[in-house]
Structure 1
């Protein structure tokens, strides 16, 4: 049961999330942008454990001369205008707002008993504000995550209501989930075009390097990776999957313009992270809760396809990730699918 202070914090956090998204919509007439939706689900592995579902919806601006032109409070625009890397001369600036919901569960979702040596139940609901910039060779982006973990994130209701709709069994162990906690996290991601070939109006592709890191009670980690794309009409953007919990569409706008009205290309990304803490593994930061001991290293491999036609684009990818703890099933990897949809105006 939530005490009045927790209810008050929950309501304030939810109000702020909605205000950010509403503000971006209200300013759409002033600054062109892109709406995006991405869905992660482990149905492709025919399981319902570990990272079982993720949903992100949001908006990214068109290019800005100054961050103050975007839908952000003046004090925030003044702050990000002083950050290094994203305020150089001639760089294409952008901002984005998003709302994300994530669900994590252990392997055995039938029992009502606490489960040792496996990932605890957790639901996460958080918003993300990102400010970034790019040029012909590289892209940099800073992000701020804010939200809730625990029962107030409604992971149990979302998962079991979806199971009811599809006729699946109910998940029974949510009484053992981590407790309520406010989430605050900072993130940074750098992408660099290492090489490119062909052209944007025909066959071509590129190789893009990735570096990043996050710090906070959501997750603290360092990430490095390399991605490649090949196909017809590959734009000169930085459109590879972000580091975990990153903004889906940073780097999704071309540096120049689309070379063709339509395009389709394959993409792949291999990255690795060193994780110092993650609330969905370590449990609550300031009180006792379920948790799991894990190795700090994790690898992820993305393989997918993306297609674009006019203002719309869609993508599908399969993600293979290592499981860095000795779980009850002795599995050392997990597979989930990702679907993305964007509309640019």
Structure 2
């Protein structure tokens, strides 16, 4: 089961969506994100993340409870557009060598994370505030061990041998906020549009606690009103929705984010009991660049991500890819 074949199958399936469906009213946007180091022939550290999300169409009435929650948020502007969405996903982390039964000290612990999220977006002009509540479980109950062993068996890859040493079961909670500014600077270059945006954010919880800041450039002939492709926490902010295109549309993007990390359970180890852990670095950076392509109600994107070393005994920085598909129904 080659990953390239899986990606190709997904694209073909969406491409065969009947054209008549384009004219029907939309219920919302379904998105799928796959982050994996297999794109670069690696299998270590943050080795896999999968997330599905659903965002109701922006033209549909906002539920009363969602509006009431939005109105109590800081800086809520009365003329804002309110959005909400739901997501669930799974992430997994492993040492550098998964064939070792008992990973040595200084190696990143095995860990899995299974979660569900509710999100709220408050947008005014070129500014959007995103609030999120994520609840899940770290440990064997995340089913990360079963997932990785199944996938490796299907693709005939090395069997991971050290999952008996993974972090124990622990409930997880993350409260997050991000503010993004789009189009702070716009110009034309090589016959296309170029714009610049920036963002600030923070996360609080026993899984992630950090503060972050970064920026992004976009370049293309017709830049839509969005904030880049969706990603999995922790990452540069993106959007799980988009404005449908009348035909084909594309843009390139590149961004940088720096994070000041106070807590990362996948490095610090279990919160309530002794466990494997590593000495984390307090400052971590991501560099990303990629391509977004739209065809009517379909969006496909690919992001190359280079992440700086996250712990003291890490021998080299990590590189992985993020592939996403968004489809309006």
Report if TM-score (shorter chain) is over 0.5: yes
RMSD: 2.4
The structural deviation recorded for 1:88 is: 1.2
1:339 paired with 2:323, answer yes
- The alpha-carbon distance between structure 1 residues 121 and 337, as it changes in their structure 2 partners (threshold 3 A), is same
Corresponding position of 1:305: 291
The answer as to whether partners of 2:112 and 2:140 remain within 8 angstroms in 1 is: yes
1:153 to 126, 139, 142: 142
Counterpart Cα distance in 1 of 2:166 and 2:35: 21
Aligned counterpart for 1:48 among listed residues 21, 26, 43: 43
Deviation at 1:58, TM superposition (A): 1.1
CA contact 1:39–1:340 (8 Å) conserved in 2? yes
Matched, 1:288 2:283: no
Question: TM-score scaled to structure 1, two decimals?
Answer: 0.82
The 5-angstrom pairing of residues 44-83 of structure 1 reads 44-63=39-58, 67-68=62-63, 74=65, 78-83=68-73
1:42-191 to 2 correspondences below 5 Å: 42-63=37-58, 67-68=62-63, 74=65, 78-85=68-75, 87-191=76-180
1:326 partner SS: coil
Aligned match of 1:221: 210
Q: CA deviation at 1:140?
A: 0.6
> Normalization by structure 2: what TM-score?
0.86
Superposed CA offset, 1:181-221 (max 9, x none): 1111100011002112359xx93231110110100011000
Instruction: Give per-residue Cα distances to partners, 1:92-146, cap 9 Å, x unaligned.
Output: 1100100010000011211111421121000000011100121222111100000
Query: 8 Å contact 1:268–1:303 — kept in the other structure?
Result: yes
Change (3 A) 1:96 1:64: same
Stretches of structure 1 lacking an aligned partner (at least 5 in a row)? 1-28
Secondary structure at 2:63 match in 1: helix
Residue pair 2:278, 2:312 contacting (<8 A) in 1 also: no
Unaligned runs of 5+ in 2: 1-23
Q: Distance in 2 between matches of 1:224 and 1:251?
A: 20
Deviation per CA, 1:307-335: give whole Å up to 9, x if none.
Answer: 0000001001110001132336x21x100
Following TM superposition, by how much is the alpha carbon of 1:154 offset from its aligned partner in structure 2, in angstroms? 0.7
Tell me what 2:17 maps to. none
Listed one character per residue, the Cα deviations across residues 215-262 of structure 1 (whole Å, up to 9, x for unaligned) are: 0011000010010110122202222555834697537435xx75x422
Q: 1:277 Cα shift?
A: 0.5
C-alpha contact 1:189 1:211 (8 A) present in aligned 2: yes
Question: Which residue of structure 2 aligns with residue 18 of structure 1?
Answer: none
Aligned mates of 1:192, 1:122 — CA distance in 2: 34
Contact residue 231 and residue 322 of structure 2 kept, 8 A: no
The answer to whether 1:236 aligns with 2:220 is no
Closer, same or farther in 2 for the Cα pair 1:180/1:30, shift >3 Å?
farther
* CA–CA distance in structure 2, aligned partners of residues 157 and 181 of structure 1: 18
CA contact (8 A) 2:31 2:240 kept: no
Count of matched residue pairs: 304
